[in-house]
Amino acid sequence: MNDMPKFDLPKFDRRSFLVGAAAATGGFSLGFNYMPDALAADATPEVNAWVVVKPDDTVVIRIARSEMGQGSLTGLAQMVAEELECDWSKVTWEYPTPGTNVARKRVWGNYNSTGSQSIRQSQEYVRKGGAIAREMLIQAAANEWKVPAGECTAANSVITHKGSRRKTTFGKVASAAGKLDPPKDVKLKDPKDWKLIGKPVKRLDTVDKLTGKQVYGIDIKLPGMVIAAIHDCPVNGGKLTSFDADKVKSMRGVKSVVRVSDSSVAVVADTFWNAKTALAALPKTWDLGENAKVSSATIADMLKEGLSADQAFVGNKTGDAPAALQGAAKKYEAVYSFPYLHHATMEPMNTTALYTADKCEVWCPTQNGEGALAAVAEAAGLPVDKCDVYKVHLGGGFGRRARTDYVTQAVKIAKEMPGTPVKLIWTREEDMTHCAYHPVTQCKMTGGFDAAGNLTALHMRISGQSILASLLPQALQNGMDPAVFQGLTPSAPEGNFGYTIPNVLIDHAMRNTHILAGFWRGVNLNHNAVYVESFMDELAKEAGQDPLEFRRKMLKPKHRAVLDAAAAKANYGKAPKGVFQGVAQIMGFGSYVAAVADVTVSPEGQLKILRIVGATDCGYAVNPAQIERQIAGSFVYGLTAMLYGECTVKDGAIEQTNFDSYNMMRIDEMPKVECIIMPSGGFWGGVGEPTIAVAAPAVLNAIFAATGKRIRDLPLMNHSLKSV
């Protein structure tokens, strides 16, 4: 046992720190929360907004974006440290609060951790933050030595004056540096000179996740805290007509019963179990409203109508696809569908709120720190500068935690109990049934060939729900949701259609329901890739060509490059007997991705996914070890959805309530994942999401190769692959 590493005990227990600090000051007066090294009380002045260097040379890098497992916390720290020229082994981090960001004129920029944007959309100003801090540290040393700053260099947290060989450390000059004016402009390094960006350095936040010390939102503890369980109307749009609080007031541990909104009620108790037990016993009556007439079947009918509707928003129009299809030598058509999906973060929704008449503080796992702050201010009825949000690590986000519904609820409950901190925890059942789900869509694909068997026309008609219409109607453009065309537009750098076909029409008939549609990791790219890449396989079959070769002839160079790389690594075309392969490619979140899956299907219909090779061109790869993990995790996310993912609607409510009815892939179904990270430079693509989209089509195409069965409606569990 002696060779086992010791993990550092924090100087004091973080939970007790939290309790102490909150009790002493009513919160974090410094405006920073959860320090990895429990250093929050240390008031070392900053060099600039991004960097604090302590006298012992510890470098604290401030991270605005949320860490939910994707590793961007470490990646962003690498970016700052690259320019700062500090000793990476001395780097730690902290989250500046959204309230501090507002107070400091948004010095840390955007807090959103959605759309695989954390690194790529802040890379420039984050690197500049590091570079400016470095220049200030060098200037401070130069001032002390009375030499020109240009004669000094920084490396590994040490500043050296060339002529005199004098040396000092960042820690020694940091406080003087912080008093200097920052340089107006700094030059960023040429990517070829990067030493830390591009290296597979270890994450900064692993140890506490192995010992039970990592504090998630659900683990927050404050003195005198009570715990709430909530039940919102099972049908979105319905109302809570009445409840009988007296029936549960004397139950064990119950403190109060709170109407939270016109559709929800919470029980507050000493423990979660007591709150949940009393909530279940609380007599409630609902007015489910008109939406209770909606079911999966009525939604499917509505979507089906949209497949042939005259009116549709156009997202990609090249040539004249309808005319070309009319005149085609051969036409081929197929209709697909994709179900509602729930994010199912491992950690259910939760928020802890402490409200007093002149202040409201919230501890919560959020992908949207500033949105959470706005929600707190609104629910508390207080100005933003009287509110703050202390972010904690998320037990998964996947887009779910970009919404702030659970934050609003917690504040409303806390407002009923001024001075008492309230932790609201959703049961898994509440979580599963109150979400903004991956939108439901159907799609009609039509392809036309000329006499020589070339694909000359493609019409893709998507019918289905719009996320923006559900969550951000103000972002619609003349009623159109441009996001539905993710990966399908003619030339968007975020994700353009990879195939060059003379006549293309891609349009969307928007059909919305009362079930909210939301941003589910990968978003619209997921179904768009299933539709396009399954259909390309169908067209290849119609044309009598190999699916890879058929695609290659039409693919733009970067799209083709990732597919070629994946095919080469997978030994495409040379699979052992009984093993069948399928391919897929797509572009999304600024990155090009491809996959090749190897599967077997037994005569009894048992599918085994043996291996998936994933290739990614994300422009620049900040931390290849973390990208590999994002690719493997994306395959799990995409394959879980393909195998089992389906939320169905009955009487207006979502039917799946927990992991027994909403199944998840386990380790026994995990294929071997092989990654090819092939950054071609010159652009910044995301890595947390795009690969999800190619998981399902690659496997579905391999299943077709194995069985001749074309699965056009997900999930797979609704189909039999049996051949005997």
Rounded Cα distance between 686 and 117, Å, is: 6
- Quick check: bond before 547 cis, omega within 30? no
To the nearest whole angstrom, how small is the minimum distance from the Cβ of residue 346 to ligand FES?
4
Query: Among residues 632, 643, 654, 721, which is the contact residue for other proteins, using CB under 8 A?
Result: 632
By CB atoms closer than 10 A (0-12, 13-18, 19+), residue 143 is: middle
Q: Is 138 in the site for other proteins (CB under 8 A)?
A: no
Footprint (CB under 8 A) of other proteins, residues 328-367: 344-348
Q: Does 207 bind other proteins (CB under 8 A)?
A: yes
* 3-state DSSP of 433-488: HCCCEECCEEEEEEEEECCCCCEEEEEEEEEECCHHHHHCHHHCECCECHHHHCCC
Q: Are 623 and 201 in contact (CB under 8 A)?
A: yes
Residue 443 class from Cβ within 10 Å (0-12 exposed, 13-18 middle, 19+ buried)? buried
- Please say whether the beta carbons of 62 and 50 come within 8 A: yes
- Contact call for residue 402 and other proteins (CB under 8 A): no
CB of 396 to ligand FES, least distance (A): 5
CA quadruple 521, 101, 180, 78: dihedral, nearest 10: -20
Amino acid in the structure at residue 361: E
633: helix, strand or coil: helix
Minimum distance, C-beta of residue 381 to other proteins, in the bound complex (Å): 30
Query: Binding other proteins by CB under 8 A: which of 83, 94, 135, 219?
Result: 219
Q: How far apart are CA 438 and CA 526, in angstroms?
A: 9
- Taking the complex as a whole, how short is the minimal distance between the CB of residue 360 and other proteins, in angstroms? 24
1 binds other proteins (CB under 8 A): yes
- Nearest CB to other proteins, comparing residues 345 and 486: 345
Minimum distance, C-beta of residue 185 to other proteins, in the bound complex (Å):
37
**132 or 201: CB nearest other proteins:** 201
The nearest distance, CB 670 to other proteins, in angstroms, is: 4
User: Looking at 206-214, 314-322, 351-359, 679-687, which segment touches other proteins (CB under 8 A)?
Assistant: 206-214
Spatial neighbors of 192 by CB under 8 A, at least 6 apart, are none
Instruction: List helix spans (H) across 544-599.
Output: 547-552, 557-569
The one of other proteins, ligand FES, none whose footprint includes residue 507, by CB under 5 to 8 A per kind, is: none
DSSP line for 184-219: S--PPPPGGG-SSTTS-PPPSS-THHHHT-PPBGGG
Smallest separation (angstroms) from other proteins to the CB of 39:
19
Part in contact with other proteins (CB under 8 A); list of ranges 141-149, 273-281, 351-359, 451-459: 273-281
Given 670, 678, 680, 709, the residue binding other proteins (CB under 8 A): 670
Q: Over the Cα atoms of the chain, what is R_g?
A: 27
Position 70 contacts other proteins (CB under 8 A): yes
Q: Closest separation between CB of residue 696 and ligand FES, Å?
A: 20
Q: Which does 367 bind (CB under 5 to 8 A by kind): ligand FES, other proteins, none?
A: none
Task: Give the residue, chosen from 56, 181, 185, 211, that forms a contact with other proteins under the rule CB under 8 A.
Answer: 211
Can you tell me the distance from the alpha carbon of 193 to that of 409, in angstroms, rounded to the nearest whole number? 49
- Of the pair 413, 665, the CB lying nearest other proteins is at 665
Q: To the nearest whole angstrom, how small is the minimum distance from the Cβ of residue 273 to other proteins?
A: 4
Residues numbered 433 to 452 that lie near other proteins (CB under 8 A) are none
For residue 712, the Cα-to-chain-centroid distance in whole angstroms is: 26
Considering Cα of 313, then 319, then 322, then 328, what sign does the dihedral take? negative
- Nearest distance from C-beta of residue 157 to other proteins, angstroms: 24
Q: Is the peptide bond before 715 cis (omega within 30 degrees of 0)?
A: yes
* Smallest distance, other proteins to C-beta of residue 638, A: 9
Q: By CB under 8 A, is residue 11 in contact with other proteins?
A: no
Cβ-closest position to ligand FES: 346
Site for other proteins in 142-181 (CB under 8 A): none
Q: Which does 4 bind (CB under 5 to 8 A by kind): other proteins, ligand FES, none?
A: other proteins
Helix or strand run (H / E) with residue 695: helix 690-707
Query: Whose Cβ is closer to other proteins: residue 438's or residue 712's?
Result: 438
* Least distance (Å) between residue 671 CB and other proteins: 9
d(CA 511, CA 354): 41
By the rule CB under 8 A, 396 interacts with other proteins: yes
Q: Does 73 bind other proteins (CB under 8 A)?
A: no
Residue 293 or 672: the one with the smaller Cβ distance to other proteins is: 672
Based on CB atoms, which residue is closest to other proteins, 91 or 425?
425
Minimum CB separation of residue 209 from ligand FES in Å reads 8
Binding other proteins by CB under 8 A: which of 185, 193, 246, 668? 668
Q: What is the dihedral of CA 616, 621, 622, 625, to 10 degrees?
A: 50
List C-alpha distances in Å: 518 to 176, 522, 585: 48, 11, 24
Residues in the chain: 724
Q: Which stretch binds other proteins (CB under 8 A): 300-308, 423-431, 591-599, 600-608?
A: 423-431
3 state DSSP class of 550: helix
DSSP label at residue 329: S
Quote the least distance from Cβ 633 to ligand FES, whole Å.
8
Name which of 91 and 102 has its Cβ closer to other proteins: 91
Can residue 611 be called a binding residue for other proteins (CB under 8 A)?
no
Q: Which is nearer to ligand FES, 79 or 687 (CB)?
A: 687
Nearer to ligand FES, 215 or 555 (CB): 215
Pseudo-torsion of CA 33, 36, 38, 42, nearest 10°? -70
Report how far residue 674's alpha carbon sits from residue 663's, in angstroms, rounded to the nearest whole number: 25
Site string for other proteins, 612-631 (x = CB under 8 A): -------------x---x--
| 359-364 vs 441-449, strand pairing mode | unpaired
**Which single residue is written with the structure tokens 């399954």?**
534
Are the C-beta atoms of 23 and 13 separated by less than 8 Å? no
DSSP 8-state code for residue 647:
B
708's torsion region: left (phi>0), alpha (psi -120 to 50) or beta? left
The answer to whether 395 contacts other proteins (rule: CB under 8 A) is yes
Interface segment toward other proteins; rule CB under 8 A; list 51-59, 151-159, 396-404, 524-532 = 396-404
Partner whose footprint covers residue 150, from other proteins, ligand FES, none (CB < 5 to 8 Å by kind): none
- Quote the least distance from Cβ 410 to ligand FES, whole Å: 21
Q: Is residue 425 a contact point for other proteins (CB under 8 A)?
A: yes
Which parts of this chain interact with ligand FES (CB under 6 A)? 69, 346, 396
Residues 203, 629: contact at Cβ < 8 Å?
no
Q: Are 92 and 53 in contact (CB under 8 A)?
A: no
Instruction: Report DSSP letters for 383-403, one per residue.
Output: -GGGEEEEE-B-S--TTGGG-
- 15 interacts with other proteins by CB under 8 A: yes
Q: Which of 170, 191, 448 is nearest to 333 (CA)?
A: 448
CB of 629 to ligand FES, least distance (A): 10
273 binds, among other proteins, ligand FES, none (CB under 5 to 8 A by kind): other proteins
- Binding region for other proteins (CB under 8 A): 1-2, 4-7, 9, 15, 68-71, 202-203, 205-216, 218-219, 221, 227, 252, 270-274, 277, 344-348, 393-398, 425, 427-428, 625, 629, 632-637, 640, 658-660, 664, 666-668, 670, 672-673
